[in-house]
Amino acid sequence: AQSVTQLDSQVPVFEEAPVELRCNYSSSVSVYLFWYVQYPNQGLQLLLKYLSGSTLVKGINGFEAEFNKSQTSFHLRKPSVHISDTAEYFCAVSGGATNKLIFGTGTLLAVQP
Amino acid sequence: NAGVTQTPKFQVLKTGQSMTLQCAQDMNHEYMSWYRQDPGMGLRLIHYSVGAGITDQGEVPNGYNVSRSTTEDFPLRLLSAAPSQTSVYFCASSTGTGSSGTQYFGPGTRLLVL
């Protein structure tokens, strides 16, 4: 079975500072990895995804993530955050014979002026 | 394209009542799914479907039924509502098989069971 761990439930950061949101996964098969963002009172939308190939994946709004198979991680980074990046961020994993997409518990990114 | 639409936006039920949460998509996606979102627990998969006539259980299927008679629609039925089903429910549809595809989410239905 696959699982996802997001250790940080909340990450406070000042505007224009860099940020890293951590995600670790567990799977016995090859995986696909995703980051989704949820703005207040909205549904989720895709930030980026890793399916294969280059381990550094670039997404929307200046975010990027690096797939590290040996450490089973897929951390999300942004070099300089903006107030508008305040949202909840979810890491998710799928793969193998199942079509299921399993989400982590989410990390609230709180950008302060 | 309207994308993924969900109705109603809000609903209050009494314990034991039944209701159906509607979900429709106009993107011709084969894969559709239902999640519930609870504080501190992220999104948990309730049921999913890989095409018309095919459904399967997710992580938390108890108390919920689904059917998929058309590609467009994927309703979620609560047979006998319980306070533990108070949650925000999201429907999603996906390109491809679901495993590698991008999920497109609806705006959600907020359900309160008294």
- What confidence tens digit (pLDDT) does each residue in A32-90 have? 999 999 998 888 999 999 988 889 999 999 999 999 999 999 999 999 999 999 999 99
Between B42, B94, B105, which is nearest A105 by CB? B42
Contact A43 B45 (CB under 8 A): no
Cα–Cα distance for residue pair B90/B87, rounded to 1 Å: 10
- The encoded tokens of residue B73 equal 């629609």
**pLDDT for B57-108, tens place per residue?**
998 999 999 999 999 999 999 999 999 999 999 999 987 665 778 889 999 9
Rounded to the nearest angstrom, the minimum Cα separation between A102 and chain B is 7
With beta carbons less than 8 A apart as the criterion, state whether A44 and A103 touch: no
Rounded to the nearest angstrom, the minimum Cα separation between A52 and chain B is 10
Burial of B6: CB neighbours in 10 Å, binned 0-12, 13-18, 19+: buried
